[in-house]
Structure formats: C-alpha cells, structure tokens
Amino acid sequence: MIESPAIEFPFEETEKRLRFILEMMPSSGRSLLAFQNEVHISNSSSGQADHVFMQKADMHIERTLLSALHQAFPDDTINSEEASIQG
C-alpha cells in the first residue's frame, strides 16, 4: 500500500463533499434498484455468477459516483476500489 503524506484540508471543504455525496445517495440508490430486475434464484447457481453480478453493480455505482464527484470537484484526486481519478 502506498502511503500519502498527511495534508491540511479545511473542514468546510470536507463538509461540501460530504453534503454532495449525501445529496447523491437517493438517486444512486434508485439506479442500483434497476439491478434487482436481474436477480433471480436461477442466476444464483454458482458463487462465480454471484460475484460477477455483484461486481457489475459495484462498477456501475462506482462509475456514477466518481463521475459526479469529478465534475463537482475537478481538482480532487479520488481513489477507489476499482478506479482512480487524478485531479
């Protein structure tokens, strides 16, 4: 794991980002509900199939959140599980 040096980040800037994320949560949750249509008992026949389905949903929400965060805060560097954005 790469360690980054500690930086000063004003509380107001952190609060802006948290408020932005909280505002996004309802629409993000609704977009994930679309994946429920793909869930069937027959789709759950193997652990691999379950993993692929979860990864698909995970990538969808991550792309949605990263894109919105990058548009709102273009100078920020964002690290995530699957992808990163350099501001």
Q: Would residue 3 count as lying in a domain?
A: no
Confirm whether 18 is domain-assigned.
Answer: yes
Strands 84-85, 78-79: pairing is antiparallel
Overall number of domains in the chain? 1
Query: Average pLDDT in the 53-68 region?
Result: 87
Residue 4 maps to a domain: no
- List pLDDT tens digits, range 3-43: 777 777 899 999 999 999 999 999 988 888 887 777 665 55
Q: For the segment 42-56, what is each residue's pLDDT rounded down to a tens digit?
A: 555 566 776 777 888
Residue 57 token pair:
């949903």
Examine residue 69 and state whether it is found in any structural domain, yes or no.
yes
- Whether 42 is in a domain gets the answer yes
52: domain range?
A: 11-84
In a domain, 2, yes or no: no
pTM of the model: 0.69
The CA distance from 82 to 87, in Å, is 17
Q: Is residue 60 part of a domain?
A: yes
44: in domain:
yes
